[in-house]
Amino acid sequence: MAKKLVIVESPAKAKTINKFLGKDYQVEACFGHVRDLPKSKMGVDFETSFTPRYVIPTKARKVVNHLKKAARGKEVFLAPDPDREGEAISWHLTAILDKNPKAIHRVEFNEITKEAVKKAFEHPRVINEKLVNAQQARRILDRIVGYELSPLLWKKVSRGLSAGRVQSVALRLVVEREDEIKKFIPEEYWSLCVKLSSHRASEKEKVFVAKLDRIGKDRAELKSEEETLKIKATLEKGTFQVGSVDKKERARRPQAPYTTSKLQQEAYNRLGFPAAKTMRVAQMLYEGVDIGDESVGLITYMRTDSVQVAKSALGEVTQFIQQTFGKEYLPGTPNVYKSKKSAQEAHEAIRPTSAFRTPESIKAHLSHDEFKLYELIWSKFVASQMSEARDLVTSVEIVAEKDYFFKASGTINLFPGFSKVFLDAKAHRKRREKAEGIGEQTEERGEEDDEQPLPDLVESELLKLHELIGDQHFTKPPARYNDASLVKALEEDGIGRPSTYAPTIHTLLAREYVHRKGGALMPSELGEIVMRQLLEHFPKIMDIQFTALMEEELDKIEEGELDWVRVLKDFYEPFQKSVADAKLQMKDVKQEITETGQVCEKCGKPMVIRWGRFGKFIACSGFPECKNTKPISTGVACPQPGCNGSLIKRKSKRGRPFYGCSNYPTCTYISNQLPKTETETKEAADQAPTPTVEEKH
């Protein structure tokens, strides 16, 4: 019989760890938090220093009883994840098990491998109270904001809404970006490119493209077709001569291994994975995958803002690079990267647990998504410890009719270095465009390409003119946020932490404050109303700098520099006053009525638009005597052949939105998404990063 009990969060993690430990250990899963604040009330005693009133959730009671029974007479090792949440779970388990503190140990490991787990069990520690206090402060702070603002929104806007400390600021970013797009006025401009080649026999077959850069001493800014055609006519009869040739060697350094936010960004841009999907797949890779007879965690812990790497991992990846690629692919000394100021240095970057476990060698044991994400993480890490890539960059200035200066540039790779394993974003995009045939379009239009092969030109030589191409362009509005760019903005502004980015986006979508249009995040009318109401009455909560400052204070609690009760008190008192004022002054959207021009077919009274739990709907103005209601049409025609109905947004019994025909039950057409028009398809292409793998929603 096992003498020691190990408790982790998930069955998958338990299964992996169980194979590393001997028969003396019994490994059980607690399935996340075993105690939490109650759902039905605030659960915080404001009169006694913000004391939380924790309860065991109904769904956790069976597990808790099982763990209590399993812990009898055993030494207990608590092994949840190495972060604030994991520390808090360990603390709650300690309280629930009610054992002698000497019989309970906290073990922490950053990767689930046999070596890391055994080392952690050889060096157990006590619960870190600072981490627990930081988690409690965050939990109570979020509870105060959510439980005070959400009921206010239910009363003034619609039932079922929510507000959150991080979520509401993220919504503000999305709504304000949409405001910028609506206000944007495109301006016309033109470009003028020329296709040229050398007269010399050895180089004359190499046609290259140069772009008009200057007219005299001024930068070329062509505002109209008339101006462009006038210059074009002048130059078609003129001569083109090489003014200068500049050749420089350029070094490109590899980037650091992934942090959580960078992984979410690149997984979206390169693979088309939404942030939530990235974290879900990463969790599976971390907790353990069966590789033949072996069960092992393939990556280190995936919630981190550190770029530090363990010495043992550096030694292994150095050995792998030398054996696989050769000594010339190793830098003189290992590459060192600097984490941002707030990063927890005890953590590591996201990396494979073994560089020798290449993606191809384990592909057969992984799902498609697991393989793609593991390949991304593995490649990034290995490349981070490789030598620089070296390029020869040639810049050529070409003079036409003395006053017109064109520029052409070309790059030749001299040594691939890290790019042998991992292409940077620009090179990756170009490879993808070439594979999809997009690169050919730019060549046909005559746009300059800095990767083009230039002929070996010499100063003052005359060039052969092939074609002058004028192109019309319009300035574009800022792009809507997508998962990658919103995560980047949240990180740069200091809003939230690695563990909050994906849940924040998920909540905005689940509450229907935001919906996806192509790859972009676009605010709904409901989202705009909620954001503007909160911004008007809670400017501090919605302030980006204030939210970032709160995050810094939570970090300082973790470091022992601030008292968590003091932080909560300083926040709560002015917040409480804002809530009291908003209850009196906030506009009641639910009472606003908009005429539709329709008449109720049941009682003959006018039909009006009202707000409900699921947004706007059409209702009889005779309510409550007449309860006739109907949904609002999306204005999109039903695509079913022969049907003259329109699509209406509905909700399934489980609350999931879908679109059905207004002629139901005569027409039974349903879809999870509105059919895209040609215009919307083009807009999506402009706004989204065109991921290599189709994003599933």
Measured in degrees and rounded to the nearest 5, phi and psi for residue 661 equal: -75, 145
Q: Give domain status of residue 41, yes or no.
A: yes
- Residues 244 and 296 both lie in one domain: no
Domain carrying residue 451: 188-253+390-474
Say which CATH number the domain at 248 has: 2.70.20.10
Question: How far is Cα 692 from Cα 171, in angstroms, rounded to an integer?
Answer: 27
- Residues 96 and 17 both lie in one domain: yes
Q: Give domain status of residue 479, yes or no.
A: no
Q: Give domain status of residue 571, yes or no.
A: yes
Q: What is the pLDDT of residue 695?
A: 30
Q: What is the pLDDT of residue 498?
A: 86
Strand 75-78 relative to strand 104-106: parallel, antiparallel, unpaired? parallel
- Residues 446 and 534 both lie in one domain: no
Cα separations in angstroms, 206 against 28, 148, 201, 434? 68, 69, 10, 20
Q: Give domain status of residue 546, yes or no.
A: yes
Determine the 3-state secondary structure of 45 from DSSP.
Answer: strand
Question: How far is Cα 357 from Cα 375, in angstroms, rounded to an integer?
Answer: 10
Say which CATH number the domain at 516 has: 1.10.460.10
Look at the block and give the residue holding tokens 């304000």. 176
Q: Give domain status of residue 103, yes or no.
A: yes
Nearest Cα neighbor of 488 from 282, 283, 269, 178 is: 269
DSSP output for 605-644: PEEEEEEETTEEEEEETTTTT---EEPPEEEEEP-STT--
Q: What is the pLDDT of residue 554?
A: 92
- Residues 597 and 574 both lie in one domain: no
> Containing H/E element for 130?
helix 129-156
- Residues 76 and 113 both lie in one domain: yes
Q: Give domain status of residue 695, yes or no.
A: no
Structure tokens at 469: 């191409």
- Residues 57 and 158 both lie in one domain: no
Strand partners, 406: 212, 398
Question: How far is Cα 25 from Cα 71, in angstroms, rounded to an integer?
Answer: 11
Q: Which of these is catalytic: 301, 374, 513, 659?
A: 301
Nearest Cα neighbor of 530 from 106, 55, 174 is: 174
- Residues 445 and 397 both lie in one domain: yes
Domain end marker among 435, 455, 474: 474
Neighbours of 253 (CB within 10 A): 16
Nearest Cα neighbor of 135 from 573, 570, 574, 568 is: 568
Residue type, 309: V
- Residues 652 and 547 both lie in one domain: no
Q: What is the pLDDT of residue 672?
A: 81
**What is the dihedral sign for C-alpha 491, 497, 498, 504?**
negative
Domain end marker among 589, 614, 632: 589
- Residues 427 and 466 both lie in one domain: yes
Question: How far is Cα 473 from Cα 193, in angstroms, rounded to an integer?
Answer: 13
DSSP secondary structure code for residue 693 in this structure: S
Say which CATH number the domain at 315 has: 1.10.290.10
Quick check: 669 and 661 in contact, CB under 8 A?
yes
Q: What is the pLDDT of residue 159?
A: 80
Neighbours of 697 (CB within 10 A): 10
Beta-carbon-side half-sphere exposure of residue 400 (alpha carbons within 13 Å): 29
Determine the 3-state secondary structure of 379 from DSSP.
Answer: helix
Residue 587 burial (CB < 10 Å; 0-12/13-18/19+)?
middle
Question: How far is Cα 551 from Cα 196, in angstroms, rounded to an integer?
Answer: 56
Domain end marker among 330, 362, 384: 384
Q: Give domain status of residue 297, yes or no.
A: yes
Measured in degrees and rounded to the nearest 5, phi and psi for residue 605 equal: -80, 160
3-state helix, strand, coil in the chain (%, to 5): 40, 20, 40
DSSP secondary structure code for residue 269 in this structure: I
Residue type, 139: R
Give me the residues of the chain with pLDDT under 70, please.
1, 341-346, 427-450, 612-615, 654-655, 676-697
Q: Using one digit for the tens of pLDDT, what is the confidence trace for 67-118?
A: 999 999 899 999 999 999 999 999 999 999 988 888 999 999 999 999 999 9
Q: What is the pLDDT of residue 629?
A: 87
**Tally of structural domains, the chain:** 5
- Residues 164 and 65 both lie in one domain: no
Cα first-last separation, the chain? 47
Say which CATH number the domain at 108 has: 3.40.50.140
Q: What is the pLDDT of residue 434?
A: 58
Q: What is the pLDDT of residue 25?
A: 93
Measured in degrees and rounded to the nearest 5, phi and psi for residue 614 equal: -105, 25
Order the strands of the 606-612 sheet from edge to edge. Answer: 594-599, 606-612, 615-620, 629-630
Nearest Cα neighbor of 192 from 451, 454, 475, 447 is: 447
- Residues 269 and 379 both lie in one domain: yes
Q: Give domain status of residue 495, yes or no.
A: yes
Degrees (nearest 5) of the Cα angle 111, 693, 452?
A: 105
Beta-carbon-side half-sphere exposure of residue 483 (alpha carbons within 13 Å): 35
481 is catalytic: no
Nearest Cα neighbor of 164 from 148, 180, 177 is: 148
- Residues 264 and 380 both lie in one domain: yes
